Amino acid sequence: MTTRATVIGVGHYLPERIVENAEFEKTLDTSDEWIRARSGIERRHFAADGETTSDLAVHAAKAALADAGLEPDDVDAIVVATSTADLTFPSSATMVQAKLGITRGFAFDIQAVCAGFVYALTNANALILSGQAKRVLVIGAETFSRIMDWTDRGTCVLFGDGAGALLLEAQDGAGTKDDRGILSTDLNSDGRHKDILYVDGGVSTNTTGHLRMQGKEVFRHAVEKLASTARTALEKADMGADDIDWIVPHQANIRIIAGTAKKLGLSMDNVVVTVQDHGNTSAASIPLALSVGKQRGQIKPGDLIVTEAIGGGLAWGAVVLRW
Ligand code: ACO
């Protein structure tokens, strides 16, 4: 018998305010047509003044708990993937813990930018397999609207705010690839690429900073590295692209998503796409897409899912799981 970290609940939350592409035409030399054609994005949600990352995370966590039919006290650990924490410290995860009324277990943040959710899932899987926790809430939550330079048309039209959550539980499997749960993970980073995607401020420099990006360079790395990490994760699970029911990719740009699917030899019919409605929500994009994919009736129990993401660092990775 083998223990598997298995998804037993999923949920998401999007802030109320929806911003259509056309709204940027009022302040920037851009157009709805350009944004759609170059990124696939049509609209995104922005958090209200005073609405923080942990607020979004709590809504998503409650939705995942409701989906599982469990209470906050049933959770042993909370991992929040975010690069836009409410405060420098404490972690957003401990704030979520308090807001859910949980007084036991442990909670911490993970920061791997757009790859954050894949890193968080991998860490939560390790906590479960090592017996540290039986049930782990894994949340991706971001308020990237707070770090946009609203005069930079090359970045500010691409990002949005939101949160998604999975509840993982230790379950016994037969130890085969037919088991439900996380079957393999693959993480990578290469800090030499810092300058193509970063925020030009931080605590140690006494500033907040804005997101800076060399879009073409990021694009070039993204397709190649995402296809490669997805293949490696599949190999670790002793599977191939033919076994995949759904790719649930980080939702940054429809052209990156399509390019990666093509490299893996898969049709877009096997890809869950939400970028048109959410923009790039960084660490929140994969759990948001999983939740929306389930709501749409795309993702069903037993489906084989590959999630893959890349972001600042560069940091990238993939997780193979059976839903
Ligand atoms: N509206 C109109 N024109 C624009 C805009 C805009 N919002 N933004 C840039 N342009 C202009 C540029 O200034 C440039 O003009 P120029 O030729 O006069 O210099 C022209 O459009 C073409 O710009 P490119 O950078 O060549 O456009 P490209 O086709 O590469 O698309 C984009 C840009 C969408 C940023 C693309 O490179 C991309 O998606 N890169 C990946 C970046 C990404 O998704 N990052 C997210 C974080 S990392 C991650 O999550 C994977």
45 is catalytic: no
280 is catalytic: yes
Is the CB of residue 62 less than 8 Å from the CB of residue 12? no
Statement: residue 77 has pLDDT above 90: yes
At 204-235, the pLDDT tens digits run 998 889 999 999 999 999 999 999 999 999 99
Q: How far apart are CA 221 and CA 225, in angstroms?
A: 6
Interval 291-319 mean pLDDT: 98
At 283-297, the pLDDT tens digits run 999 999 999 999 999
Beta strand 211-213 with 197-199 is antiparallel
Distance 322 CA to ligand 1 centre (A): 35
Q: How far apart are CA 104 and CA 167, in angstroms?
A: 17
Could you tell which of 38, 157, 216, 307 is best to mutate to test the pocket of ligand 1, judged by most ligand atoms within 8 Å of the CB? 38
Mean of the per-residue pLDDT values of the chain: 97
Could you tell which of 151, 219, 254 is best to mutate to test the pocket of ligand 1, judged by most ligand atoms within 8 Å of the CB? 219
Question: How many angstroms from the chain centroid is the CA of residue 9?
Answer: 16
Catalytically annotated residue among 59, 193, 250, 278: 250
Is the CB of residue 190 less than 8 Å from the CB of residue 314? yes
Pocket flag, ligand 1, residue 147 (CB < 6 Å) = no
Distance 48 CA to ligand 1 centre (A): 27
Query: What pLDDT, on a 0 to 100 scale, did the predictor assign at position 206?
Result: 80
206 is catalytic: no
Q: What is the pTM of this model?
A: 0.97
Query: What pLDDT, on a 0 to 100 scale, did the predictor assign at position 256?
Result: 97
Pocket flag, ligand 1, residue 254 (CB < 6 Å) = no
Give Cα separations from 79 to 42, 184, 233, 289 (angstroms): 30, 19, 22, 18
Ligand 1 atom 11 nearest Cα: 154
Ligand 1 atom 8 nearest Cα: 154
